[in-house]
Each structure stands twice: as structure tokens, then as C-alpha cells.
Amino acid sequence: MSTLNRKTINFDHADTPVVGPFLDENSAEHAALERIVGDRLASDSAELRALVLLGVGRVREALLEDAYNEAMDAGDFDETRTWVEQTTGARQRRRAST
């Protein structure tokens, strides 16, 4: 797999209030982002990279949930206690991070 290097992200003025707080070292959003990532984020690049990777994780989680729901609708399998516990935990973590 090839390595991604330097990609330009074009934000418009409407994106500033959404993304800007994560780039401010003194904001609650920045502190929460560092807590979720588990590391100090010392540059705009590191902060944006963390946001992108967290977004990727959320999209993958949604895809898995969609696939499971489709399988359930098709009658492919029944819910198991383990899956219910994992899904409930994932949903709680997702809600807590938004």
C-alpha cells in the first residue's frame, strides 16, 4: 500500500467555526482530541490528521453497523449477547465523543 503524503484540504469560511476550536491549544475541543488520541498534538497538521483518522474510524464503524443490520434484516443470524454488549458500548463511546 502506498504512503499518503501531503494532501491539501481546502476549508471554506463556514468550516472555520467547526474545525478551528480543535486547532486552539487552549480549547476544550483540543483537550478532548488529545485525550481521545492519547497523545499531545503539537501542530495543526497533527490535529487535522487526528481528526481525519477519527473520522475514518467512525465511517468504518457505521459500515459495520450497516452490514450487521442488513444481515439481521435478511435473517442471516440472531443477536448474541456478546454482540449486543459490544454494539451498546460502541454506541455509548460514539455518543460521548460527539
User: Residue 76: what pLDDT?
Assistant: 64
Q: Can you read off the three cell numbers belonging to residue 48? A: 487535522
CA-CA-CA-CA torsion sign (3, 13, 29, 98)? negative
Q: Is residue 96 within a helix (H) or strand (E), and if so which, with residue range?
A: helix 81-97
User: Residue 18: what pLDDT?
Assistant: 96
Identify whether the C-beta of residue 61 lies closer than 8 Å to the C-beta of residue 94.
Answer: yes
Whether residue 96 is predicted with pLDDT greater than 70 in this model: the reply is yes
Range from 17-21, 37-41, 54-58, 83-87 carrying the lowest mean pLDDT = 83-87
What distances in angstroms separate CA 39 from CA 30, 42, 43, 83, 88, one per listed residue? Answer: 11, 9, 12, 30, 26
**Spatial distance between the Cα atoms of 36 and 1, rounded to a whole number of angstroms:** 27
Q: Which is more confidently placed, 77 or 11?
A: 11
Q: Global pTM?
A: 0.68
